[in-house]
Structure 1
Amino acid sequence: MPDKRKRIEVLDGLRGLAIVLVFLFHGYYIWDAYYPFGKLYAGNVLFKYGSLGVQLFFLISGFVILMSVEKTPGFWTFIKNRWIRLFPSMLICSLIIYLTGGFFYERPFGIPELKSLLPGITFINNSILERLFGTSFPVLELSFWSLYVEVKFYFIFGALYFLFNRATALAGIFILYLSASVLQILIVYHAFTETATMKIYIGSFIHFGWFVAGALTYIYYQGREKKYLYLLIITILCSLFYAYKFQDAVLYVYLIILVLIFLGALFWAPFGVLFSGRVFKTIGFISYPLYLLHENMLIASVIKVHKFFPQIPYFLLPVIAFLFIGSLAYGVARFLEPALQRVLKKII
């Protein structure tokens, strides 16, 4: 049987890998209009597709959420536990971002407005709030989008699980993914003109396949029943179609490699040791606040460091910024987040 303690260590390390990949994407590739080095690293495949670290986060979430829901007595307890897990860092990091916006004025998204805090702390997409209130909600951090997807998954999966059973919950989540995927493919082939409502629907559910793959990985990990291995393989292959619109073969290869890393770390102990080490575990420990804080602050820090220390090699600029933001994220994860969580547990 699997070593439960080792499995958790591996998952923490995989979270560390996921945030490192996202950092490489934001630090070296996507914001080339702002980097002092421009498109210097644009040809690096590792950097270019680093955003797929988010899919690795979704796989891990599917694994962990099913593990969590099976230990929870009811839906509202499950939602309360998830909210207490997510809200403190979101609130703290959102306030840090807002209050430091004037100092990090080089932010790609500009100095944030007060109302920019609302989407993050409510975990509701900017576009949905704009439709509800008829006013704009400027983006605080673009990276928050994945949290909005996660929260939708928690509510829908949790409701289906406690109303029906595990199989129905997984099937329902996967059907939502398939419907969003088919709709996106039809739009690619101009069968439909994409409306704002369609865009919200696709954006909400197009990544749900990865949660199901993660959950099936957990089921197979626990019991080693071959039927779940076959279901897992089919689910992974189907989940790849979320990226069909990009028509990018390299992207698919990158995704498959990430899936193999995820599975290899869980099922092959010698490989899993790599992600059970101190470096990946430490980065995994701070991965949530680091993910929330990093994007705009990273770019602004790169610009600032280069301005005052132009002799520093280009490649090191994002690394220095990452170390700074990582230290800030450690303070949130180690001290501020647990303190607020303790308060909330007493109140709720």
Structure 2
Amino acid sequence: MKSERSVGIDCLRAISIIWVLLYHFVPVQAFNRGTFGVLLFFIISGYCIAFSAETSQTAWHFSAKRLGRLLPALIVCGFLTTLFKILAPELVESGRGLKWAHYVYTLIALPTLNVLQVNYNLPDGAYWSLQIEFQFYFFCFLMMVIGLKQRLLALLCAVTIFRTLTTSTDYYTSNDFFPFFIAGMSVAALVRGRTGEAIAGILVAFSVELYHLKFNVKQPSVPLEMYRSLLLWSGTAAVYLAARYDHVLPRSFRALAFIGVISYPLYLLHQDVGNMILRWAQIGRDTASDLFVRSFVLPAFLAAIAWLVYAFVEKPAIKPLTALLADPVAWFRQWRPQGAGRGYPTAEHSGDIARQ
């Protein structure tokens, strides 16, 4: 069966996560813009979500696919991070301590956009980007609920422009991240042959980003700068090239693509756990051996853990969990004992349910 994954897009995911890892672990000036790796993830997310929404039968089916994709690794990686922090609190960075209640509530707060307005600590500092992602998913879900699935890109552009023009430049919001989702969705439209819609979306994304730059809009992690706009432009082009010419990539790219395949659990695990490992091993920042450990040994170790999470949790759980969330009644009927008149579903059948 032909793989549903794109080698080109997975290569870009790999570049994104490597970028973030180098930012967090390697104290070199060239890697001091780690947010850019996350922004490239956002462009990729916009591209992929456009197709996910298009193939979703209902708004709930769309949400089931998103939750089925994100929850398995999030549950396990969040559990591991919380466990490590509780077992070795002396290794935890000041202000990054965690309780089990915070971990449990994270699994509720992220999909619901913290509707209960509870103060809590995220298991890992990198989870902030999931808060932005879920805002994007909620917008798509809401538009699909009211029957506007075919106008997602146009509506996202309109809402982003409205929010940008009506929000104070001194107030931290997620506004300045949405042009990256728009750019990704525009690339998807371009690949689908909807050239006019795609060009309009790209113009909106670039224009809003330049607005943020010109008026010095506040951003909670790093100041807005021209380099960020360059990342938006080059990242949009890179996603288009990766999607359009995926079939001509040489096999040598598959090693890089593998890092992209495990990029999600690797992203969830890397920051706080990685820094705890560095403190435990007493790895400094100055010597050549320190830089070698930070650049290669630690990322490889974290990647090995991420692969285990992917292979034994994420990959086998995505389709069954998606099927369960999409239609719980049908899922449980398929798993009735044989004596009740039905046999257990085959793996192929379960996969069919997940893909609907």
Q: What band does the TM-score fall into relative to the shorter chain?
A: 0.7 to 0.9
Matched, 1:288 2:264: yes
Q: 1:211 & 1:182 partners in 2: Cα distance?
A: 18
Which deviates the most, 63-72 or 154-163?
Answer: 154-163
CA RMSD of the aligned region, Å? 3.2
Cα 1:320–1:83 shift into 2, 3 Å: same
Opposite residue 187 of structure 2, the aligned amino acid is T
CA 91–27 in structure 1, closer or farther in 2 if over 3 Å, else same: same
Match of 2:191 in 1: 221
Counterpart in the other structure of 1:79: 63
Partner of residue 13, structure 1: 11
Query: In the alignment, what sits opposite 1:36?
Result: none
Match of 1:34 in 2: none
Match status 1:240 vs 2:223: no
Relative to structure 1, the CA distance from residue 123 to residue 146 in structure 2 (aligned partners, 3 Å threshold; closer, same or farther) is: farther
- Tell me, yes or no, if the aligned pair for 1:158 and 1:169 is still in contact at 8 Å: no
The answer on whether the counterparts of 2:206 and 2:233 sit within 8 Å (CA) in structure 1 is: no
Instruction: Label 1:122 to 1:98 Cα distance change in 2 as closer, same or farther (>3 A).
Output: same
Partner of 2:354: none
Counterpart residue type for residue 162 of structure 2:
S
Choose from 114, 117, 125 the match for 1:132: 117
Partner of 1:304: 280
Per-residue CA distance 1:90-117 (angstroms, 9 max, x = gap): 1111101111113474232444212221
Structure 1 residues without counterparts, runs of 5 or longer? 30-40, 189-193
How far is 1:54 from its partner? 1.3
Deviation at 1:16, TM superposition (A): 1.1
User: Closer, same or farther in 2 for the Cα pair 1:63/1:110, shift >3 Å?
Assistant: closer
- Following superposition, the deviation at residue 290 of structure 1 comes to 0.7
Residues 251 and 278 (structure 1), Cα distance of their counterparts in 2 relative to 1, 3 Å cut: same
> Does the CA-based 8 Å contact 2:183-2:201 persist in structure 1?
yes
Identify the match of residue 254 of structure 2 among 269, 272, 278: 278
Contact 1:219 1:228 in 2 (8 A): yes
Deviation digits for residues 135-174 of structure 1 (CA, Å, limit 9, x no counterpart) = x312321211211221222222133135233453223322
| CA offsets 1:178-216 (integer angstroms, 9 cap, x no match) | 2343355x434xxxxx4xxxx4xx23x432222222111
- Quote the sequence identity (%): 21
Shift of residue 303 of structure 1? 2.9
Q: Distance in 2 between matches of 1:321 and 1:104?
A: 20
Give the 4+ runs in structure 1 shifted more than 6 A: 4-7
Deviation at 1:322, TM superposition (A): 1.0
Q: Which runs of 5+ in 2 are unaligned?
A: 218-222, 329-356
- Alpha-carbon deviation of 1:289? 0.7
Question: How much has 1:268 moved relative to structure 2?
Answer: 4.8
Which residue does 2:152 correspond to in 1?
169
2:345 corresponding residue in structure 1:
none
Tell me the CA shift for residue 222 of structure 1. Answer: 1.7
CA distance in 1, matches of 2:124, 2:112: 11
Distance, in Å, in 2 between the alignment partners of 1:6 and 1:336 is: 19
Cα distance in 2 for partners of 1:176, 1:121 equals: 27
- Does the CA contact (< 8 Å) of 1:161 and 1:168 recur in 2? no
Correspondent of 1:212 among 182, 203, 220: 182
In structure 2, relative to structure 1, the CA distance for the partners of 1:258 and 1:170 (3 Å cut) is closer
